[in-house]
Amino acid sequence: MSKRFSELKEPPATDHQLILDFLGGNPEAFNQLLLQYKNPVYNLCCRMLENAGDAEDCAQETFIKAYFGLKGFRFKSSFKTWLYRIAVNTCKNKMTSAEYRSRQNIIELDKPISHLDDMYLEIEDKSKSPETAALEKETAAAIMNAINSLPPLEKTLIVLCDIEDGSYEEIAAITGLKLGTVKSKLARTRHHLRSKLEGVI
């Protein structure tokens, strides 16, 4: 099982050292960074894009960009924040592409209620009864549908904060927004979700 966003807070020296090793000519150091961040980045892309194929493409593109852009890394932020910023921007570009939007429209016509794979809605706690698991799965589907209906920025904030459990400071660094803006936008978006999920939660 993959780690959560908040559980990835390894000592900065580790990432820092791996980056220095990579820049010093050791490609294995990047492989270690890749192993460490592949699941959270892939999960973030899945939640942002709702499609496994697009998510895989964007996650791979994120690491490729990181590989070729690591020479320009200035250590002003953590590697995780830097990597997530790349992932978010890559997903945003994908979401705003005409090809993605036209495909989304076709999918919505085909599956107006829920187009998420079962894998996306798996519930972590396997000890729950099948009825409870099914109910929670249905609730999770409703939540994800509500989140997916949000505009890209609000969706990004909700995914980073409520699904990936990122802190406001990290989200501000990833999205480039001010801390107060992040907080106020999240509060308004949650209020909006509350109206959408009325009767479900």
Partner 1 sequence: MKCSKTRTYLKDYLNARLNSRLTEQVAGHITACNDCRKELDFLKSYLEQTKAISKIPAPPDFLSEIQKKIRDREYSTPSPRPRFLPLPVPVATLASILIVAVFVFFINNHFQFIQNNQSSERFEPPSLVKTAPETAIEKIIQPQPPANGISQAKTETSSDSNLSRADNKVSGTITLTLLQKSAVPPQMSQQPKSPDAPLITKRAVKKGSGQTALGTGKSRQSTEISRPDDINQVINQIKTKVNILGGRLENTPEQPEDKSAQLVITLPVENYQSFLTEISKYGQIQKPYPVINFVNKTLVEIKLTISNGNE
Provide the binding-site residues for partner 1, judged by CB under 8 A: 1-4, 31, 34-35, 38-43, 46, 56, 59-60, 63-64, 67-68, 119-125, 136, 139-140, 143-144, 161-163, 165, 183-184, 186-187, 190-191, 193-194, 197, 201
User: What 3-state class would DSSP assign to 95?
Assistant: helix
- Give the nearer residue to partner 1 in terms of CB position, either 13 or 113: 113
Residue 26, CA atoms < 13 Å, CB-side half-sphere:
12
Whose CA is closest to 123, among 109, 137, 111?
137
CA gap 70, 169 in Å, rounded: 23
- Give the nearer residue to partner 1 in terms of CB position, either 34 or 106: 34
Min CB(94)–partner 1 separation in Å: 16
- Give the nearer residue to partner 1 in terms of CB position, either 19 or 59: 59
Min CB(67)–partner 1 separation in Å: 5
- Give the nearer residue to partner 1 in terms of CB position, either 76 or 131: 131
- Give the nearer residue to partner 1 in terms of CB position, either 28 or 109: 28
Min CB(95)–partner 1 separation in Å: 18
Q: Which two tokens stand for residue 129?
A: 């009864």
Element (H, E) at 157: helix 152-158
Whose CA is closest to 193, among 167, 171, 161, 166?
161
Min CB(10)–partner 1 separation in Å: 17
Q: Which residue's entry shows tokens 């960009």?
A: 65
Residues 6+ apart with CB under 8 A from 109: none
Min CB(72)–partner 1 separation in Å: 14
Min CB(88)–partner 1 separation in Å: 17
- Give the nearer residue to partner 1 in terms of CB position, either 34 or 150: 34
Q: Which two tokens stand for residue 26?
A: 């050791």
Q: Which residue's entry shows tokens 């729950």?
A: 128
